[in-house]
Structure 1
């Protein structure tokens, strides 16, 4: 895979490339490289918190005044 010069200098891609080299040379942890490549690919994706999707805790105790 070939990166453009602008992407080559981005910090996320630098970490991903360093992790891949670490695995190739020393047999380091492959999960580290996988995570860093996925983070580099998704660096423009913003995770937005939506409180409406939060599921209630079904075992939560209720106060007597709320019954």
Structure 2
């Protein structure tokens, strides 16, 4: 709240206020760990002319 008041009254840094609001809204969110991650792309890139 302090960062939001600082922005509203004195034109403070809006990025910090935005980060604070986002953290407050997502405070109960627990991210899941995905051990697999993204699958690697082992093939060649396909060009439009190769189709």
TM-score bucket (shorter structure): 0.5 to 0.7
What's the C-alpha RMSD, in Å, of the aligned pairs? 1.8
Provide TM-score, normalisation by structure 2: 0.65
**Runs of 4+ in structure 1 displaced over 3 angstroms?**
none
Name stretches of at least 5 consecutive residues in structure 2 with no aligned partner: 43-51
Q: How many residues align?
A: 42
Greater relative contact order (Cα < 8 A, sep 6+): 1
* TM-score, normalised via structure 1 length: 0.52
